[in-house]
Each structure stands twice: as C-alpha cells, then as structure tokens.
Amino acid sequence: HPQPYLRKKALLCLFKLFVKYPQGLRLTFSRVQQCLDDTHPSVISCAVNVITELSDKNPRNYLHLAPAFFQLLTTSSNNWMLIKVVKLLGSLVPEEPRLARKLLDPLATIVRNTQAKSLLYEAVYTITLSLPYARKADGSMPASMPSIVALCAETLKTFVEEQDQNLKYLGLVGFGSLMVSHPKVLSSPDYRPLVLACLSDEDVTIRTRALDLLTGMTTRKNLRELVTQLLRHVDLATGEYKSDLVAKIIEMCSGEKYALLVDFEWYLDVLIT
C-alpha cells in the first residue's frame, strides 16, 4: 500500500495472526521480510519489532536475516530500533559463531558514541555474549579484543557506580557475562572496592550479584583480604544470604584445588570461626 501508516498496521495485524496461527508464517513471512527494505523508516522499525518478537522462541529460523539486520546495525540512527536489532543479532551468535567477530567493532562503535543508556547497555551486553565465540579458526583472537574488553569493563563500571538501583544491577549482570570469556577481568584493584561496596547494598539482589563476581576477582595476593571482608558481612547477615556468604568463602578458598590458598592454618581458623 502506498501509505506507510497502513503498511505498519498490516505488519502488526500479521504479527497477531502469526502468534495465533504460526503456520501462517510460511505463507506470508516473505512480505514481512520485504519491509526491512521499505522506503519509510517507521515501517522498517515496525518490521524489526515484529521479527524480533517472532524470533524470541527460535532465533535459528531467522538466521538468514542476519545480513539485513547487520546492515541496519551499521546504518540506522534510530536508537529504539537499534536496541531490537542488537538483541536479535546477539541471539543469533550461538547459531552462527562467525557472526561474533563481525559484530565486535560495530557494537564497540555504538558503545563509544551513543548517549542512550538503554542502547549502550544492550550493545555492551551483546559484546559480552559474542566474546566467547570470537576466536578465529586458527585459534587466535581479533587484534581489537583487548581494547574491546577494556571498553566493556569500563562501561559496566559506570553502570555499577550509578545511584539508580536498576542500572547498578544491570552493570553487575554485565560483569558476570563478561567474566564468562574473561574470568579475571575484575582482578584489577580498580574494580575490587566497587564490587565489595555492593555487598553492603540494601537490595539483596544486588548483594547476591556482587557475591557471584568475587570468585573471578580472587588471587593469591588478595584472597585473605577478600575473605576478611566477607567474614564481616557474615557477622551481620541473616538467613539465606548468610549461607551464601559462607558458601562463597569456601568456594574462593578451595577453588582450583586450593591453588590460591597459602596458609592452611589460617583457613582452618576461618572454618572454625
């Protein structure tokens, strides 16, 4: 139809039809796909929304759309649409690992340039999802990998430093995802006070997320210091969170077959205490 408004309405009607009658996808999805090349930005955005929602259950079915979505990633300036595009591309990475290396630089560009918090976080989080798949066929890593990892860590640090509890929580979740591919990324002294401060947060979900990160921060040099900090929290904690703290202390000390433990007499004192 020549009117963009009606094309958008038709897309939304098709989406409701697909939800109720999934078999209809095979008959008409090609027309939805054509809308990714529409001349009107609002129609493209609507098509992206529809495809992203449809792909939620089974991203593999939409792998053939990766080139079109990558084109939108590198050319669009619509932040809300880019959030959807980034999410969809991130869900496709496990289905096509080669896509991970292709996404790193465009996503890093978004992280460096966008002022939109929502898009910034989605771009960083999708990078963290892509990093485990970024290794080349010969076993080497992309040359830009160290700078991109540092960029992610510094960006997530700003989220954890926020007063807004939701942003702080997202920053901790992002750190957890980053540690899947780079488990020692938080071992730097720059991050230790920040994460430890979260253990005193009023929100138990933030305390629990921060606790999950401590294993990756632990080294032979700082193990005793970290355990001492946790023991202070144990004295003040109650219920399940107290049990979580004790379990984390044991995990940190016994990890890697006690490789980080220097003084077993001290550890026995900790256990008895």
- Cβ partners under 8 Å of residue 112, min gap 6: 151
pLDDT for 140 = 81
pLDDT of 115 over the 90 cut: yes
Helix, strand, coil % in the chain, rounded to nearest 5: 75, 0, 25
d(CA 104, CA 119): 15
CA angle 150, 156, 159 (to 5 degrees): 150
Q: What is the token pair recorded at 184?
A: 């020692």
pLDDT tens digits, 232-249: 999 988 889 999 999 999
**Size of the chain, expressed as the number of residues it contains:** 273
Q: Which of 218, 211, 139 is nearest to 186 (CA)?
A: 218
pLDDT tens digits, 159-180: 999 999 999 999 999 999 999 9
pLDDT for 63 = 94
Q: Please state, for a pLDDT cut of 90, what percent of the chain lies above it.
A: 70
How confident is residue 1, by pLDDT bands cut at 50, 70 and 90? low
pLDDT tens digits, 8-48: 999 989 889 888 888 878 888 888 899 999 889 999 999 99
First-to-last alpha carbon distance for the chain, in angstroms, is 75
pLDDT for 165 = 96
Please say whether the beta carbons of 172 and 204 come within 8 A: no
Global pTM value: 0.88
